Structure 1
């Protein structure tokens, strides 16, 4: 369901995506509101599910988890129960940061973050290849991350492109 967001809602979302620790006073100042209406809008955006949570962004180098591998997964079968079993199992592997079902020549694309190639190799052999209904995987080591963003571009209402 698409939410009806006005220009101020979009500004609030832009600012909170840049810095989720902004105080309501600072946020209100940035979006041109007073404190109370700004707080009410933030609460409404949270209650309606537009804002689904807040978190800290970690530096992967500083926490020794800076090896990224992309894994293509081909399934043995793609009936609903097979997909559901795979989906539930993949959620239990914390090193898998992203899992996307793909329409194409393979079934899933995973982004996996590990300490190093040895950690990835063990994870691939011990967990990923043993996920339900996995027929085959193809792995691609990421040499450099050029852009990595969780930010959703909040285009102003009436503007496209």
Structure 2
């Protein structure tokens, strides 16, 4: 039986997880530069303590651009992590932070629970955010993997 640590580095589970999360970060980061996405992000982020200060300073598109740069940066660093563990560690930390922040919206955003129902019946916002549980797990895996590769 082959475990992740025994698999050839070119074809192991880490590569698939890394590729998947990189595609997500690059794709979502790119979308933050589009006006429709900037408006969508504003609906959740504008009243959130961590992002709210950016809107008066940078405007809707500027705030979204900052988030997009951070997401693209995380994706690039995670991609580099396959070859450079420290870059992967930093990128994975950024990913963990990203998904902890988005999951914290479960406590503040409207539409988490479906109208007329109780938790765990998720509304559209809750369903959108629920995927971040799995994405957080991927980033945590890559974080611990990078840490292990830096200090064996």
Give the TM-score range, shorter chain.
under 0.3
Q: TM-score, normalised by structure 1?
A: 0.25
- Higher normalized contact order (CA 8 Å, seq sep 6+, divided by chain length): 1
Larger strand share, 1 or 2: 1
Larger helix share, 1 or 2: 2
